[in-house]
Chain A
Amino acid sequence: MTEITPEIVAEHGLTPQEYDKVLEILGRQPNLVELGIFSVMWSEHCSYKSSKRWLKTLPTEGPQVIQGPGENAGVVDLGDGLAAVFKIESHNHPSFIEPYQGAATGVGGILRDVFTMGARPVMNLNALRFGAPDHPKTRHLVSGVVAGIGGYGNCVGVPTVAGEVNFHPAYNGNILVNAMTVGLAPADRIFYAKAVGAGNPVVYVGSKTGRDGIHGATMASAEFGADSEEKRPTVQVGDPFTEKLLIEACLELMATDAIVGIQDMGAAGLTSSSFEMASKGGMGVELDLDLVPLREAGMTPYEIMLSESQERMLMVLKPGREDEARAIFEKWDLDFAVIGQLTESGRMVLRWHGETVAELPIDPLAQAAPEYDRPWDEPEPAVELDERALPAEGDPLGALERLLVSPDLASRRWIWEQYDHLVGGDTVERPGGDAGVVRVAEGPKGIAATVDCTPRYCLADPRSGGAQAVAEAWRNLNAVGALPLAITNNLNFGNPEKPKIMGQIVGCVQGMGEAAAALGTPVVSGNVSLYNETDGQAILPTPVVGGVGLVPDVALVTGIGFPGDGLEIVVIGATQGHLGRSIYLREILGREEGAAPPLDLAAERRHGDFVRGLIHGGKIAACHDVSDGGLLVALAEMALAGNRGCSLAVPAGESALAGWLFGEDQARYIVVAEAALPILEAAEMAGVPAQAVGATGGSELQLEGYGHTSLARLRSLHEGWLPGLMGGDLVGAAE
């Protein structure tokens, strides 16, 4: 037996204190298998030890919530007996090492989280962060990640309908790949990971187990060094075809009542799935590792327990239902094996070749999982930008053109055309709008979903940045006419052992909680990805929010495109001209500074409710929220989407021009309608600021007093940047 040395303990990512706890729980030294199990169960990835204390502060309840955090995915009620099941998850480190497979298996993992709960996946989203466009690795990473997301989702047949992409040098050494799935389930037939019933069979289904990604969970919990690429761990390869079969087979079995509990094998594979199921049900579990379907000869119990091979699930069945279940999985050509049973013992017992190779108490191990209250620094308040000291904007249309070709505002068409966003025949809002919308159950209802985060705001002020991410998601849902229901979140940060980073985490979570409470969108699921640092350089704080809303009637959904000529354009919400941390400031003036735009959650709610009311009342013909780049960029996007120009009267004086056109004041939407007046009146009644600013028509974007520019020119600039960047598409594997 391997001697457990301090080196081996350290290699397993356990601190000496944590190892002392292991000794205390066992009352003896663990063997290597047991140490491996402790190591993954107590990893940051599985135990949330640094973030748990703060995650507990998030609002998670509401009348619409069927299942909050703690299960594979969150569940909200859509009415009519339907439920939306959703979650977001990161695959950051693997995607940096092997972008195609890393991103693909990220999509596979989040799909499993959702169909494990009995839901058919109906939409995928993704939030991506890459390094500087001219960084030597960026093109290779963009090309691989996008192809991987498409490669997996397209094959499985789930439409990818929305997402977001940022470029910033802070992600040069740590890209972010966050994938979200929304599924649809009958509200009264949700499946949980809780295993009960001594003697009930534990069943393994899906692909065989190989030596993939052993220690993926611990890798996802450690900071990168420059040598990480050398130490390349075995990367998991995704098999979307098998996943597709697994979805069909699981849903077919779920239509019966044979399943007691079910859990996908994600990070830490068989270990965490069996542990979590038994722990939730207060049971013990006995597994015979000789029965696990293996891909390779000579695998050890350690490898079997820690393998992260993809496309596998663990289920507990009702006694006597094995044959019925086996028939379904065999029909779909998937492996099916009864590998053990539940016991009353409260212990996990693993047998192999007739011997007991591990024996661990389940509850103490789960209960004693470390939880840290890490020291954190209160972030320093950002200094307000002195806007009067900025140079006057003499060429606003020139600035608009430069913004439309800037990395964060250029068209993402090159990306989303690689995603099948139509499969299923229910896509109502394609990528390119404010939120993806998919019709459900033959209509009229639909689900809307969006992912949002503005890391530059989070860096300036974590608290307001965390809140802003929730508010932007709320806005994007309202803008298509959806009633926002709940959110999921993916907290991407640097090393939490540094008080400054921990301060960002705390601030963002607090802000997110405040906004979620104020806007009535509780957090029902989420994921945390820490240690996103390379050589001490942390990413920008990036708490991505995934929002889900209910569209009562998909026929009412408004797009962003101007649908006709001669329509009047109204801005909902007050335009104050806040330029601190704006894209304009960064791209046109080359400065990343100032405070983030102030956020008024009460106004946010009022304006959102008002706009949604207009849409449901059939009062407006198009709607777009105003976010990155401000008013003029939003208008240009609407003009391009509708292939129709507009003219805009500028009420502001010359000195405040840049702020009025490009400021990123929050809680704003642009709506267009036959006539502005009724909307202005309704807004006044509702206590919502509103301003008529122009009218649609023509083939140019006209700014009264400043000339005009043609849509054709704007389009070629806007559409050209990303294809231009990616021009030499196939970028070296090792580049």
Chain B
Amino acid sequence: MKSAVVVFPGTNRERDMVRALERASGRHPALVFHKDTEIPPVDLIVLPGGFAHGDYLRAGAMAARSPVMREVIARAEAGVPVLGVCNGFQVLTETGLLPGALLRNAHLRFVCRTVTLRVENPQTLFTGRFAAGETFDTPVAHMDGNYFIDDEGHRRLADNGQIAFRYVAGGAPGEANPNGALDDIAGVFNESKTVLGLMPHPEDATDPLHGGTDGRKLFDGIVEALA
């Protein structure tokens, strides 16, 4: 599987992501800079975590309008799978590739801790290695992860299997839902399930030293689907 990781000014989890992709695919992803207007031919485009443009104005807002994103949108519309993690998820909602928006955490604090996720739709190219309802642990680290969507959008997500993961009880002490997200939503797909955005960081749960390797299933599944 060939992949590309997009780096905006202020992105800071690109290395974590690169290593997770390497572990799963055995190949080094291409790094693409925000000013680039071309992306090499790849099977997967990844928007990693961080604070693109400082997350000033709104998380992901400025990154969503950078030159490289025009190409990302074009590829996504042509069916190339896109994965956005944390800041990457925020960027994807700002471009409209994913529905909804990510508001400030309900408690207004940054939150970094391990959470437990439940897989809500295992029949996608991203989640094929999981069973329906399977739970796994992964860290979160964000300030704006409070997923919001209006009632009608919410209904459509639910009806169409677009809710990818929900926060459930299990992880560290504290509430299961770390940010107040509507309906405990941690990640969503686009309508055709070729774009996935999620707040947690599966890439930081791929090495025994991370304290758990549950995140590998996600990456291994993607590699398997796209090989």
Contact = CB atoms under 8 A, between A and B. Distances in A.
A244 B112 contact: no
A425 B49 CA distance: 12
B204 A240 contact: no
B110 A244 contact: no
Given A241-B54, A424-B16, A729 B108 contact: yes
Given A240-B51, A241-B53, A425-B16, 17 more contacts: A154-B112, A244-B10, A244-B12, A413-B173, A418-B110, A418-B112, A420-B141, A421-B112, A422-B204, A425-B13, A425-B19, A425-B207, A425-B210, A426-B209, A428-B209, A729-B109, A730-B108
A417 interface: yes
A42 B181 CA distance: 53
A439 B209 contact: yes
Contacts of B109: 147, 417-418, 729
Is the contact region of chain A dominated by helix, strand, or loop, or is it mixed?
Answer: mixed
Given A155-B10, A157-B50, A425 B15 contact: yes
A427 B114 CA distance: 14
B185 to A, nearest CB: 21
B18 to A, nearest CB: 9
Interface string B1-40: 0000000011011011001100000000000000000000
Interface in B121-166: 139, 141, 143
B54 A240 contact: yes
B110 A156 contact: no
A332 B53 CA distance: 11
A704 interface: no
A154 B143 contact: yes
Interface in B42-86: 49-51, 53-56
Contacts of B110: 147, 150-151, 154, 418-420
A417 B113 CA distance: 6
A554 interface: yes
Contacts of A426: 209
A612 interface: no
A719 interface: yes
B15 A156 contact: no
Interface string A357-380: 000000000000000000000000
A147 B110 CA distance: 8
A715 B111 CA distance: 20
B9 A333 contact: yes
A424 B203 CA distance: 10
18 contacts: A147-B109, A147-B110, A151-B110, A155-B10, A155-B12, A244-B9, A413-B173, A418-B110, A419-B110, A420-B112, A422-B141, A422-B201, A422-B210, A423-B141, A425-B210, A439-B209, A729-B107, A729-B108
Interface centre among B13, B56, B110 (most CB of A within 10 A): B110
Given A424-B15, A425-B15, A719 B141 contact: no
Contacts of B174: 413, 417
A408 interface: no
**Interface core residue of B49, B55, B56, B173 (most chain A CB under 10 Å):** B173
A239 interface: yes
B157 to A, nearest CB: 28
A693 interface: no
Contacts of A244: 9-10, 12, 51
Contacts of B20: 425
A422 B209 CA distance: 11
Interface in A94-152: 147, 150-151
A164 B173 CA distance: 21
A417 B112 contact: yes
A422 B12 contact: no
Given A422-B139, A423-B16, A439-B209, A155 B55 contact: yes
B57 to A, nearest CB: 11
